[in-house]
Amino acid sequence: MVLSLSKDNIQVLREQDVVLLRNRVKEVAVKIKMGLVNQTKLITAASELLRNMLRYGNGGTCLVEVVSRGRDNGVRLTFVDQGPGIPDIQQAMRDGFSTGRSLGLGLPGAKRLVNEFDIKSKVGEGTTVMILKWANG
């Protein structure tokens, strides 16, 4: 059972907001005593997903939560956009696949960097991506 201890919703509409959000995630991660390597992985994953949200989803919101499960604490980030959605998630999760002339590492890379990853998308309605990193994960 994963409990949410604190919630903070942040709007991301411009590129500069990415820096703000990265700092916010860092703050929260430091507060639960997450190690530097895990912090870096989490923030890098967040950075990838924020870019997707800005580039393909015209921006959106990010919910920053401190969660706990038993004695473990972690940070859960939920990215919600009202963009065009992803028609084929399996394809989007493949390394090297991109519709935007990038490296195609964003989604699969982000998944590798965190402990839990969930993506839901509906064409025409938007995309929601959840990532979770445990402090000691």
- Residue numbers of the site for another protein (CB under 8 A)? 15-16, 18-19, 22-23, 26, 36-37, 39-41, 43-44, 47-48, 51, 95, 102-103, 105-106, 108-109, 112-113
Rg (CA), the chain: 14
Q: Which residues pair with 134 in a beta bridge?
A: 74
Supply the minimum distance, in Å, between the C-beta of residue 64 and another protein: 16
Residue 90: partners with Cβ closer than 8 Å, 6 or more residues away? none
Closer CB to another protein, residue 26 or residue 120?
26
Closer CB to another protein, residue 31 or residue 112?
112
Supply the minimum distance, in Å, between the C-beta of residue 38 and another protein: 9
DSSP conformation letters of 58-96: S-EEEEEEEEEETTEEEEEEEEEE-SS--S-HHHHTSTT
Strands 116-122 and 72-81: unpaired
Closer CB to another protein, residue 71 or residue 101?
101
Closer CB to another protein, residue 47 or residue 68?
47
Supply the minimum distance, in Å, between the C-beta of residue 124 and another protein: 27
